């Protein structure tokens, strides 16, 4: 058992046969999704949760368009399937899970060529059980400083593996009922050969900006400077331990 890939007309599909079967292409059909989820309408960028064969899954849709002159390599020209956003995120999740990092398990991805130059795609991941994103949690209750410290340590683990999250914000962090954190939504993320201190700092700073913005938007929103000090303390401590270990 493992990962399988097939082509059906203009569509390329990759899937984990330990989670879904070879007929998984039906899971990408919008009418099927609307009928088998509680979502009234499937929209780009909106996560749709559904269940299939006893497994809870999450669907996310991408879209890429534009003129030929604007479709350079870094914007994932469809002529190179491996560079499409959907294929890159699917394989990045596979790589991070192989490193033991807490991210959702990729179940399937589908990329459809739209001649002459563009594509559309979608990704399906296994839902992290008993979890809410950090934004939802902080609107409901405070999070203990020990957990903030744990989150800082986790971000340091990702950075130690040279993982760059392009949009690290509170809504892209999950917290489970048992107190475990997961990072999600690695669209446009990358595992670098070496993550610079500047990129690591930009990830952490982006998270702080998102928390400050959410605090101004929601009331109540249970976040304080003391929480942030706990996170940065956990981050710095973990980075120092990793550095000491690698230098031995």
- Closest residue by Cα to residue 123 from 14, 239, 3: 14
Cβ-contact 126, 174 below 8 angstroms: no
Q: Which residues are catalytic?
A: 167
Structure token digits, residue 21:
């079967």
CA distance 121 to 173: 23
Residue 58 β-bridge partners: 49, 125
Task: Give the burial string for 157-174 (b: 16+ CB within 10 Å, else e).
Answer: bbbbbbbbbeebbbebbb
Structure token digits, residue 8:
């059906």
- Closest residue by Cα to residue 107 from 95, 98, 94, 119: 94
DSSP3 helix / strand / coil % (the chain, rounded to 5) = 40, 25, 35
Cβ-contact 170, 214 below 8 angstroms: yes
241's CB contacts (< 8 A; 6+ apart) are none
Cβ-contact 97, 105 below 8 angstroms: yes
CA end-to-end distance (rounded Å), the chain: 39
């Amino acid at each position: 058992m493992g990962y399988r890939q097939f082509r059906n007309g203009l569509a390329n599909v990759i899937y984990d046969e330990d989670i879904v079967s070879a007929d998984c292409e039906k899971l990408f059909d919008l009418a099927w999704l609307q009928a088998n989820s509680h979502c009234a309408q499937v929209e780009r960028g909106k996560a749709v949760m559904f269940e299939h064969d006893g497994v809870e899954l999450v669907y996310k849709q991408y879209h890429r368009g534009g003129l030929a002159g604007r479709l350079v390599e870094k914007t994932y020209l469809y002529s190179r399937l491996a560079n499409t956003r959907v294929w890159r995120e699917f394989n990045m999740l596979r790589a991070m899970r192989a490193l033991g990092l807490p991210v959702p398990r990729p179940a399937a991805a589908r990329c459809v060529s739209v001649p002459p130059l563009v594509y559309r795609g979608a990704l399906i991941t296994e839902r992290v059980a008993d979890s809410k994103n950090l934004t939802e949690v902080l609107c409901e209750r405070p999070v203990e400083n020990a957990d903030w410290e744990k989150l800082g340590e986790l971000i340091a683990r990702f950075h130690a593996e040279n993982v760059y999250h392009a949009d690290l914000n509170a809504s892209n962090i999950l917290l489970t009922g048992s107190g475990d954190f997961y990072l999600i939504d690695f669209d446009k993320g990358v595992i670098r050969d070496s993550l610079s201190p500047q990129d690591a700092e930009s990830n952490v700073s982006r998270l702080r900006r998102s928390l400050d913005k959410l605090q101004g938007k929601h009331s109540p929103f249970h976040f304080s400077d003391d929480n942030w000090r706990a996170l940065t303390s956990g981050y710095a401590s973990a980075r120092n331990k990793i550095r000491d270990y690698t230098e031995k």
